[in-house]
A = this chain, B = another copy of it.
Amino acid sequence: MPLDALVFDAYGTLFDVHAVIDRCEKFWPGKGAQLSQLWRAKQLEYSWLRSLIGRYQPFSALTRDALGYACEALGLALDEAKTKTLMQDYLGLAPYPDVPEALAALKGGGRKLAILTNGSPDMIEPLVKNRGLQSSFDAVLSVDPLKTFKPAPRVYQLAVDSLRVPAANIGFISSNGWDALGAKSFGFTVFWINRGAAPVDRLGFQPDGMLASLGDLAPRIAH
């Protein structure tokens, strides 16, 4: 199966959402890792729940809400200045170390590269730019115009429509197991970057391939 496009999840796949741990730890010593985990868990939970109840809000607002909940649940005082700093950090999240080189190796040969993300344009566009990755991608696709989040099938359809490549000829890469399986259910050829060596979620599908890091992808899809 020739892959005419590679579509990447952003948060957790290209960019390390837990890069905020250092700042959290500075603000609330001893609580950084726990806060980062709960913040991320609530961010995902709110994206699923808002999709289900039909109450979309941009991922930036949802991420701020998830931070507020996580701090309240852990008894950590959060003020406007701390919120602003942490949300600003989200616009500069570090990519995983292997990402820039791996993207360079995947580009070329007429293959399109794109991001497909829950992130609203006010989050993802500054992030890609701040990290100097604009030239790596032919498109940066946000769920925002659809007013719903992954893993709703019409989010994945957005990549098919925008790139004009059939689903089966799109290689989709995510570190989020549920996103990988949502994309597989939709019809993409899916690679799961299983950085934490977690079990496959039991949602009725298996990824087409598992990778330890993004650097492992190029040899797997060489023609």
Q: Which residues of A contact B (CB under 8 A)?
A: 42, 45-46, 48-55, 57, 65-66, 68-69, 72-73, 150-153, 178, 181-182, 185-186, 198-199, 201-204
In angstroms, Cα B150 to Cα A154, docked, is 20
Known: A69-B201, A73-B199, A198-B73. A48 touches B57 (CB 8 A): no
A selection of 26 A-B contacts at a CB cut-off of 8 Å is: A42-B201, A45-B178, A46-B201, A46-B203, A48-B48, A49-B151, A49-B178, A49-B181, A49-B182, A49-B201, A50-B203, A51-B52, A52-B52, A52-B150, A52-B151, A52-B152, A52-B182, A53-B151, A53-B185, A53-B186, A53-B203, A54-B153, A55-B204, A57-B204, A69-B201, A72-B199
A53 pairs with B202, CB closer than 8 A = no
B residues near A54, Cβ cutoff 8 Å: 153, 185
CB A6 to nearest CB in B, in angstroms, measures 21
Return the chain B residue nearest A205 by Cβ: B55
Q: How far is the CB of A144 from chain B (nearest CB, A)?
A: 17
Nearest B residue to A68 via CB reads B202
